[in-house]
């Protein structure tokens, strides 16, 4: 479908709101998360391999990141990856220090690495995504950001786009309300509820496989997958109605 046709996918007569994932959709921070996951897990796996005199098998961004942690709440990502490797660690508590070898400790270590990258000014936006948000707002369509990240406020502030969203649901909201993480649709449904809009009148925009599944599971009116990593077909298999390489394809005149 040409760009001119795709720019008409989200119109005011069909939809009242668009719910955007953050990392990899609005901001180019997915790489920050991926590299932070890899550094944290590789350090842990290396220590474990040495202590057990086993071969070290590193965390692979191309497979492990996409399959086990991308788009999920932090501790869920830790737990799912460890399970995939047959590793059982104590759950620990959210207050665990970043050196604790618990699910929460490892998750907190990863979070520290992400925060350091944000503070270092590594957050940038995707111009096409920001242009789309501004176009939608001009047309009276509400916009929300829905992310499993607990760093949402810092990322939006660093990217200078905090004022573009009517509602935000993030990792902190998920914990506070006891919501299930993606691929469950809870976080997207919460954003739609906060906006007062039924799912069939809302659009979900995601780049993560788990996020696309969440949109499909919530029976939203339109689920758009953003294939930044050559995974268009897999996004479709997981439930995306439409897949684009960049959200600039949905902006008039692109």
Annotated catalytic residue 70: no
Give me 68's structure tokens: 């086990």
Catalytic choice (21, 76, 170, 231): 21
Nearest in space to 195 (alpha carbons), one of 12, 10, 1, 17: 17
Nearest in space to 189 (alpha carbons), one of 204, 171, 206: 204
d(CA 185, CA 247): 22
CA atoms within 13 Å, Cβ hemisphere of 179: 26
Catalytic choice (13, 16, 23, 76): 23
Annotated catalytic residue 186: no
d(CA 159, CA 125): 6
DSSP secondary structure letter of residue 27: B
Pairing of strands 167-169, 202-206: unpaired
Catalytic residues, by residue number, are 21, 23
């Amino acid at each position: 479908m040409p760009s001119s046709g795709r720019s008409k996918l989200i119109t005011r007569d069909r939809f009242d709101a668009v719910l955007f994932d953050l990392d990899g959709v609005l901001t180019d921070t997915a790489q920050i998360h991926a590299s932070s996951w890899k550094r944290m897990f590789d350090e842990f796996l290396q220590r474990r391999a040495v202590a057990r005199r086993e071969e070290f098998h590193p965390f692979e961004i191309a497979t492990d990141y996409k399959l086990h942690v991308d788009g999920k709440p932090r501790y869920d990502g830790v737990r799912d990856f460890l399970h995939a490797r047959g590793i059982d660690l104590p759950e620990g508590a959210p207050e665990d220090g970043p050196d604790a070898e618990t699910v929460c400790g490892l998750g907190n270590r990863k979070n520290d690495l992400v925060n350091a990258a944000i503070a270092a000014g590594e957050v940038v936006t995707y111009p096409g995504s920001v242009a789309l948000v501004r176009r939608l707002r001009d047309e009276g369509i509400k916009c929300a950001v829905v992310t499993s990240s607990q760093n949402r406020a810092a990322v939006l502030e660093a990217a200078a786009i905090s004022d573009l969203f009517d509602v935000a649901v993030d990792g902190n909201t998920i914990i506070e309300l006891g919501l299930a993480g993606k691929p469950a649709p809870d976080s997207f449904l919460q954003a739609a509820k906060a906006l007062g809009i039924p799912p069939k009148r809302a659009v979900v925009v995601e780049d993560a496989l788990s996020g696309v599944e969440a949109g499909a599971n919530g029976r939203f009116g339109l689920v758009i997958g953003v294939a930044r990593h050559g995974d268009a077909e897999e996004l479709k298999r997981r439930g995306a109605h439409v897949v684009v390489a960049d959200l600039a394809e949905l902006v008039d005149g692109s």
